[in-house]
Each structure stands twice: as C-alpha cells, then as structure tokens.
Amino acid sequence: MPGADKETDLSERIESFLSELKRCGSGAGSLRGSAETARETTALLRRITAQARWSNAGDLMEIIRKEGRRMTAAQPSVTTVGNMVRRVLKIIREEYARSRGSTEEADQQESLHKLLTSGGSSEDNFRQHFAHLKANVIEAINELLTELEGTTDNISMQALEHIHSNEVIMTIGRSRTVEAFLKDAARKRKFHVMVAECAPFCQGHEMATSLSKEDIETTVIPDAAIFAVMSRVNKVIIGTQTVLANGGLRAVNGTHTLALAAKHHSTPLIVCAPMFKLSPQVSDTPVQSHLHDLVKLTSILSKVNAHCPVFDYVPPELITLFISNIGGNAPSYIYRLMSELYHPEDHEL
Amino acid sequence: MADSDGRQVDSINNATDEDVKLQEIVLAKNEGKELTKEEKQRLRKEKKQHKKSKKDDKGPPEKEKVKEKASVPVPSKPATQSPAHKAAPVPVNASASESPAAAEKPAKSKAELRAERRARQDSDRASKQGKKEVGQQSASSKPKATPNELQPVVKRLPEHVQVDDPAALKKLAKKLERQQVPLRSDYGYKVSLFSHLHQYSRKNPPTQQISIPATVIHPSIVRLGLQYSQGIIAGSNARSVALLHAFKQVIQDYSTPPNEELSRDLVNKLSPYISFLSQCRPLSASMGNAIKYIKKEISNIPSQCKEEEAKGELQACIDSYINEKIILASEAISKYAIEKISNGDVILVYGCSSLVNHILCKAFEKQRKFRVIVVDSRPRLEGRETLRRLVKKGIRCTYVLISALSYILPEVSKVFLGAHALLANGYVMSRVGTSQIALVAKAYNVPVLVCCETYKFCERVQTDSFVSNELDDPDDLIVTRNGKTHLENWQTVKSLGLLNLVYDVTPPDFVDLVITDLGMIPCTSVPVVLRVKNVDQ
C-alpha cells in the first residue's frame, strides 16, 4: 500500500538521519557544518509533515516533538537539530492560529494581563481540523528552508561594514560562517588574519589554508600564543556552535581564553552566528571528546586523568556584537530574538 | 722614572702616528669593527692629556685606576666613549675584541706600547696596594665610576632583534667571518610583525657548515651548540648549567699562548664561542648573566698567577656559581614555596620548569597532600615531561591542553609558574602561554606564584612579546589529524605564515608573588634586587 510504503520510507530516512547524527559526533570536527545539519533537519521535518498521518495540528506537533526528542537524544551537543524542531513547532502554531483567524501576533506575547485573564490552557486549541493546514505548514517550512540557505550569504554581505583595510583580525578554529565572511571582505579590502589552531584537533589549519588560497595574509599561531599576539589584533571574529538564551556562547574550547584576552586589550569580539544557532537552552554540560592525542603517554596514562573538553562557555559580558543573517545585534538583545523565534512552551521538547 | 719615560715614548709615538691611529680608529668606528683595547686606551689618553693641561697631575694612579676599571667587564662601555654601534649578540665587555687586520706598522708599536703599559700597570698595582683611596682619586674617577654603577642608558642593541636592518646583518656577517663562525640563514616566510627576528630551521643546524674537528671552536662548544639548536637541552637552568660545564672544559683545555696573558686572551677566546652559540640559539638571560660572571672572573685573575693555579681557580668559581645560584637557590626557593602549599591544594603548573618540578617533589616528600594539574601546549608539549617526573614521584596528576584552561580553572587553588627571566620593569618573561594562564587565573581569582632564581633577573625592559623574542622552527606546527596534514605545503602558499613563538611577557598585575632565593617579593621589586646585586658585585 502506498501509505505503508511512505511510512517505512519515512522511518528509514529518520533512522538514517539519526545514525548519521550519532556517528557525526562533535569532537573530531563535524563531518558537516551546522547549516547543513539544519537544512537536513528541516527537510526531514517537512517530509514528516507531508507523509506522516495526522489530522490536526496537535497530532502533528506531537509527532514532531517525538521525533525531535529522538533526534536530540542521538547527539545532544548538536543543538541545531533541536532548534529547527522548535522553529517548525512555532510555524505550526502560527499557521494554526492564522487558519483560525485570530491575530496571533498580539496573543503570542506573554503579558501579565493575559496571564490573569486567560482561562484554560491553550492545549485544546490545536484540535481543530483545517484542510489547508498541511499545505500552509509545508509552504512555511519551505520559506524556512530558503532562509536557511541564504544565511551564510546574508552574513557575508555585512562583512565590508565591519572590516576596514589593514586590519589584523584574529579567529579561532574553523567556522564556515567566518570563512565566508572574511573571504567576502577580502574581495575588496586587504587585511591580515591570525588563526589560532585550536588544539588538539587543529581545525585552524584547515581554515588557514582555505583563507590563504584566497590571497588573504594568514598566520597560524598555536593556542598558547593567543594572549601574546593579542595586543596587535584589531578585531576578534569568531563563529560558535550555539548562542545561548542569555547572549552567552557555547563555542569551541579556547574561545573563553580568547574572549578574556580580547577584553583585556579592549579588542571588540564579534560573533558571526546565523539565527538557527540560537538555542533556548542554558545548560552547558561539558562535552568531552576522545583523547587520541595522548597516544604517546600510554605508559603513564593509567595513572593520569586527562580532560579534553570540546566546548567552552563564554559569558555575554565578553561579547561585543552578534552578526546574524538578520543584521547586527548586541548580546543583550538576544533574549528578544529568542522569543520571536520560539514559543515558550516549546523550550522543553 | 719609568712612568715618565714610558709616557714620553708614548707621546713621541703619539706624535708620529697619532694621525694614522686616529684615522684608523675613526675608520674602525665607521665600519663598526670593535676597537682594540689599545685603540680605546689611546683615545682615552688623548682626552686625558687634554684634561692634564687644565688640572694638576693626578697622573698614573688615576689612569691606571681608570684603565683597570675599563678592564672590568661592564655591560656597556663607559659613558665617555661614544657608543659605537656594535653587532654583538651578547654585551661583550670592552676589552674583548678581535683586532681587525691591522696594518703592520702600528702593530709593532702597539706591542711595544702594550708591554710598557703592562710594566707600568704592574708596578703601580703593587704600589697601590698600600695606598688608600684618596678622595681626589675617587672624585676624579667618579665620573667614570658613577655611570657604571647607574648602568648607562645607552646600551648596544642586541643583534638578534635587528634582522630587518641590512647594515646590522652585514656587520654580523663580517664579525662572524672574522671569528670563523658559520652564519646561519633564516628559513621560511616570516610573519611581518616579526621580521626583525631570526627564524631558523631545526633541519639546518650551523654545525653542518663547520668542519669537524673544528679548529676555532672547541668541540664541547660545538656539541653544546648542536644540543641547543636541536632542542635536546632546553630550559633556562639546563642551558646555563650545560654552558658552564662546557666552559669548564674549555678552560681545562686552554693553554696560554706565549706573550699573552691568561686574563686577556681567554676572554678573547671565548668570544667566537659565544657567537657560535648564539647562532645556534639566541642566548637566554640566564646564560647572559653567567657569561658576564665568567668574564669578570677571568679578567680579575692577577697576572702573576700561574696558569694551572688560574685554571683551577676559574673552575672552582664556576662550580661555586652553579652551586650557589642554581642548586642552593632552588633549595631556598623550595623552602619558601612549601610554606605556600597547603593540604588539599589543587596546583596548576604549565609546561616544564625544573624549579617548579623540584618544589612539587620536595613538597610531596614533606607529606603535603595536593594534586597537580599539568597544562600543556603545542607544539612543544613540554608538559609531558613534567607529567612523567611527577607521576614517577607518585603525585596525582591531571593533564589538559591550554585550550581547556577555562574548563579546568574552577577546580584550581593555586598556580605555580616558572620563569625564563624577570625584567626590570616587573614583567615576567617565560614560555609562551604563561601570560595566558596568568590572565585566566586572574579572571577566576586564583593566586599566581612565579618562582625564579635571582641570577635570571635582567636589566632589560619590555612591554610586549614582539620586540624581543625567539622564533622557533615553523615546521613544528605541522600536524596530521584524521589522516590529513593541511599545512604540509605551507611554503608553497604565498600568503600563509606559521608563527612559533617561544617566549612571552606577563604583565606584573597578573602575578601575585615572586618566590626567589632572596625571599618572597612582589613583581615590582625586581629592580630593587638588581640594584642590590650590582652594589654587591
């Protein structure tokens, strides 16, 4: 039966996506960038919307929530998956509200008045059936996909506003967003880039070779030299894995040191992060990685504890500016953007 | 009197070839070659004779005193001489020199003059033993003495920070050619911020260019140079001790050539060795101080001393220097530092500092309960050596890379750092990454203690890590991850540079305490210690 086929096909796809997430891991350098993960997640969610059996918005949201929980459980450190799930949930709520005809924008905002006057919970609201809901949701998800595809370009277009000529820019590790950002600026301006290699995986090396191929003067420095050279750096531009709800970052390890050094020298710290990296989570449970770099110490490894954290938490006080696909923002504004992207009830999947 | 005769002869000689000599001296100055002692003394004599016409004749004692003062190695020349722009990697004292291919005509009279002067000096020295320091003498010699005590402002810029100056490079090349020391060429693309520093490759040690057995350079020095350039001997204390042992060997094998004095000739012999060693690897502050000490000791050997006796005395001096300044100093520092370690402490150390390792081992022996977190960094990965030593002792250790510093610091109660040198403005020069550790520790309010022996204090001042540093082999940064070596062909890419810094400076506001063999002092008291030391010497 075509329905069953579709279902098995769907579950197959979900399974393969999950296994790829599990395999990907966060330590050895993601096999794919977060943008790609976001796109694939959204495409998968669109497929679920199209092929799964549901009759009203509430069912759809349940299905998506369930799949979303499975996906985030597969690889908790990849937060973009959870973010996309929440975006889609919000889309569903919006489309549902639009179909119902209520002006949802005003209702979305939590206000004291609303808390006092609202009667029952809004749970029941999603049980109505609308014929065009599916089509609308899929269309909205398509819009989301287009937005995702254009994020890197949108960010790179702002590069010339932030980089002047003969600057020395420092970055750490490898971020595809920052790479595109700098390459775009390099088309018109000449500047120097210092890349901290970010041991033990040394993603900085790849970044440096890629930048130098575009004729950007690049220098690779070891992590230990970050503070030593910081006095000559004009700007620090970094990417991040996640932007937290308070405006802080969860970025690759070594970023906190970089941020402290920049603060000490009053160097602006600019974070290039597309909106899909915004996450309502605030937990920063340390994620550790395997320690293949310590192979030479096998003789005493049994008597030694070794730590290799993958991410660092950077508090919002150390950050100067966020550049995202919708423009530049101060860290203090992030909570507001968050409230526009996600519904508060979706913060816990 | 022999004095007046000698001086008359001098003046006669002066009259005849005064012009030639002055021209020569001016020429030598312009070419930047080192003035020989004779030439300098000639200049001094001219000035003295000018003064003589005004003042009463204080004469020979003062002159001898001045000459003797001049022969005492000082970090820079006396202020009366215009500082010739020298290209010497180490502040070489005024009397050490290789005379340029001097013309034959003045050479003969120089030897004559030298002999006469020596005779005069000896006789005056003998007579001076009984004389007290007369107020007049001290007053007239004070203009010479005071600048020495106050460390004259004008110092020679060391060669190793003038790589971007072609004139300085040429001078160095000529000097090395004279001394028959091979010149090492730079390697690889240098980051523009550091174009004033050398960058060598470990694959091309300077020993490849000299013949074995080397005639000019003592074999133990060649071996030492190779060990330095390959990184086999690393660490401030280790390098100084190795240097001193090599010098002991040199002194052992040394024999005074005829018509020469040990105190002068040995110092001259050491110059090419020092140039060679600085070509292998720029000298550290501790090595510089050790060399100064040795040269001073050598120059102070009285001339009537027999050779064997003198050599024995010098070797004893070196032994006592090592014992006092390094071994006993580390004992004293451990004693102070152990007071600062309490039970239950979590101590963070960085890289491999022999002194800090010693302190921790001593503390462990004294039954203090603590555990250690060793922070390491690429590309040297010296922390592994520390880890080995501590684990062997039985101390509980944790190992992290420096990028994990923010992660591990909330657990830490104290940070112990070693130093390569302490600068006169209170900055701590140490392995690159130390300033980063101090910065993050400060952000987390963890006390930072620096342990440093006093012989590593130096009079230089520096505010950032750029003006004077060492660039290590850039190829060290290349690494293979996941089967891919991204930087393998970095030389082929025009705009890619690798920067492998060796040292950095930590501002004094990050450091809470400096533990030295003289006690526990704040970072800003370093110039006080230096002054006290200089007065002692």
CA distances from B159 to A4, B85, B165, B210, B308 (A): 81, 10, 10, 22, 36
Are B314 and B364 found together in one domain? Answer: no
Contact B408 A222 (CB under 8 A): no
Q: Is residue B100 part of a domain?
A: no
CA angle A202, A208, A212 (to 5 degrees): 165
Cβ count near A336 (within 10 Å): 9
Domain stops at, among B296, B326, B356: B326
Q: Is residue B266 part of a domain?
A: yes
Q: What is the pLDDT of residue B418?
A: 94
Domain stops at, among B277, B300, B326: B326
Contact A218 B401 (CB under 8 A): no
How near does any CA of chain A get to the CA of B406, in Å?
6
Q: What gap in Å lies between CA B163 and CA B498, rounded to an integer?
A: 18
Tell me the chain B residues in contact with residue A223 when contact means C-beta distances shorter than 8 Å: 377-378, 401-403, 433
Tell me the chain B residues in contact with residue A290 when contact means C-beta distances shorter than 8 Å: none
Tell me, letter by letter, the H, E, C secondary structure of B473-506.
CHHHHCCCECCECCCCCCCCCCCEEECCECEEEE
- Taking only the tens of pLDDT, chain A with its 349 residues reads 555 677 788 888 888 888 888 876 544 445 567 888 889 889 988 988 888 888 888 888 888 999 889 888 888 778 888 999 999 999 988 888 888 876 545 555 556 666 666 654 555 567 777 778 888 889 999 999 999 999 889 999 999 999 999 999 999 999 999 999 999 999 999 999 999 988 888 889 999 999 999 999 999 999 999 999 999 999 999 999 999 988 999 999 899 999 999 999 999 999 999 999 999 876 555 555 544 444 445 566 777 888 888 888 999 999 999 999 889 999 999 998 988 889 888 888 7
Contact B398 A305 (CB under 8 A): yes
Q: Is residue B252 part of a domain?
A: yes
CATH fold of A3-104+126-148: Four Helix Bundle (Hemerythrin (Met), subunit A) (1.20.120)
Task: List the beta bridge partners of residue A271.
Answer: A238, A322
Contact A201 B379 (CB under 8 A): no
H helices of B93-235, in order, are 104-130, 135-149, 166-179, 219-229
Q: What gap in Å lies between CA B403 and CA A202, rounded to an integer?
A: 11
Are B308 and B413 found together in one domain? Answer: no
Contact B486 A297 (CB under 8 A): no
- B 450-479 residues with CB below 8 A of A? 464-466, 477, 479
Residue B443: give its domain's CATH number: 3.40.50.10470
**Residues A105, A111, A117, A119: what is their CA dihedral angle, to the nearest 10 degrees?**
70
Among residues A323, A309, A332, which one has the least CA distance to residue A248? A332
How is residue A201 written in tokens?
């995986």
Q: Is residue B49 part of a domain?
A: no
Q: Which of B397, B432, B495 sits opposite A212 (nearest CB)?
A: B495
Mean pLDDT of chain A: 84
Give how many domains chain B has, as a whole number: 2
Are B280 and B346 found together in one domain? Answer: no
CA distances from A333 to A155, A245, B451 (A): 18, 10, 46
Instruction: State the pairing for strand pair B503-506/B345-350.
Output: unpaired
Q: What gap in Å lies between CA B471 and CA B197, rounded to an integer?
A: 7
Give B147-163 pLDDT, tens digit per residue: 444 555 556 777 777 88
Are B317 and B352 found together in one domain? Answer: no
Are B286 and B345 found together in one domain? Answer: no
Q: What gap in Å lies between CA B117 and CA B125, rounded to an integer?
A: 12
Q: What gap in Å lies between CA A88 and CA B187, rounded to an integer?
A: 56
Q: How far apart are the first and last CA of chain A?
A: 33
Contact A200 B401 (CB under 8 A): yes
Burial zone of B256 (CB within 10 Å; 0-12 exposed, 13-18 middle, 19+ buried):
middle
* 3-state secondary structure (DSSP) of residue B166: helix
Burial zone of B213 (CB within 10 Å; 0-12 exposed, 13-18 middle, 19+ buried):
exposed
CA B342 to chain centre: 37
Are B305 and B353 found together in one domain? Answer: no
Q: Is residue B160 part of a domain?
A: no
Give A179-195 pLDDT, tens digit per residue: 999 999 999 999 999 99
Contact A209 B397 (CB under 8 A): no
Q: What gap in Å lies between CA B135 and CA B353, rounded to an integer?
A: 49
Q: What gap in Å lies between CA A265 and CA A23, rounded to an integer?
A: 40
B84: left (phi over 0), alpha (psi -120 to 50) or beta: beta
Q: Is residue B239 part of a domain?
A: yes
Instruction: State the pairing for strand pair B503-506/A235-238.
Output: unpaired
For residues B510 and B435, the answer to whether their CB atoms sit within 8 Å is: yes
CA nearest B350 in A: which residue? A224
Contact A304 B433 (CB under 8 A): no
Flag whether residue B445 sits within 8 Å of chain A, measured between CB atoms: no
Tell me the Cα Rg of chain B. Answer: 26
Position B2 pLDDT exceeds 70: no
The DSSP call for residue A165 is T
Domain stops at, among B297, B326, B355: B326
Q: Report if pTM > 0.80.
A: no
Are B517 and B389 found together in one domain? Answer: yes
Mean pLDDT for the stretch of residues B458-478: 89
Q: What is the pLDDT of residue B34?
A: 47
Are B519 and B441 found together in one domain? Answer: yes
Give B333-376 pLDDT, tens digit per residue: 999 999 999 999 999 999 999 999 999 999 999 999 999 999 99
Domain A153-346: assigned CATH number: 3.40.50.10470
Tell me the chain B residues in contact with residue A29 when contact means C-beta distances shorter than 8 Å: 482
Are B376 and B514 found together in one domain? Answer: yes
Q: What gap in Å lies between CA B51 and CA B60, rounded to an integer?
A: 13
Contacts of A235 (CB under 8 A, 6+ apart): A162, A163, A167, A168, A169, A170, A267, A268, A270
Q: What gap in Å lies between CA B143 and CA B135, rounded to an integer?
A: 13
Q: What gap in Å lies between CA A3 and CA B356, rounded to an integer?
A: 72
Give A154-178 pLDDT, tens digit per residue: 999 999 999 999 999 999 999 999 9
Contact B405 A209 (CB under 8 A): no
Among residues B512, B527, B423, which one has the least CA distance to residue B467? B423
Contact B403 A199 (CB under 8 A): yes
How is residue B475 written in tokens?
């190829």
Q: How many CA atoms lie within 13 Å of A53's alpha carbon, on the beta-carbon side?
A: 7
DSSP string, B54-118: HS---HHHHHHHHHHHHHS--SS--TTS-------SS---TT-----S--HHHHHHHHHHHHHHH
CA nearest A296 in B: which residue? B384
Q: Which of A209, A228, A257 sits opposite B504 (nearest CB)?
A: A228
Tell me the chain B residues in contact with residue A204 when contact means C-beta distances shorter than 8 Å: none
How near does any CA of chain B get to the CA of A324, in Å?
26
Residue corresponding to tokens 């004992």: B331
Flag whether residue B388 sits within 8 Å of chain A, measured between CB atoms: yes
H helices of chain A, in order, are 2-24, 34-51, 57-74, 79-100, 104-108, 112-117, 133-157, 159-162, 176-186, 203-213, 226-230, 255-264, 298-301, 334-341
Contact A208 B408 (CB under 8 A): no
Q: Is residue B187 part of a domain?
A: no
Domains of chain A, residue spans: 3-104+126-148, 153-346
Q: Is residue B84 part of a domain?
A: no
Contacts of A339 (CB under 8 A, 6+ apart): none
Percent of chain B with pLDDT over 70: 75
Tell me the chain A residues in contact with residue B479 when contact means C-beta distances shorter than 8 Å: 202, 205
Q: What is the pLDDT of residue B18?
A: 58
Give B35-44 pLDDT, tens digit per residue: 566 766 777 7
Are B365 and B307 found together in one domain? Answer: no
CA B435 to chain centre: 23
Q: Which of B193, B443, B493 sits opposite A209 (nearest CB)?
A: B493
Contact A225 B432 (CB under 8 A): yes
Give A37-81 pLDDT, tens digit per residue: 889 889 988 988 888 888 888 888 888 999 889 888 888 778 888
Residue corresponding to tokens 């050997």: B301
For residues B421 and B485, the answer to whether their CB atoms sit within 8 Å is: no
Contacts of B293 (CB under 8 A, 6+ apart): B321
Tell me which of A168, A207, A227, A253 to substitute to probe the interface with B (most B C-beta atoms closer than 10 Å): A227
Q: What is the pLDDT of residue A309?
A: 86
Range of the domain at B390: 341-465+501-534
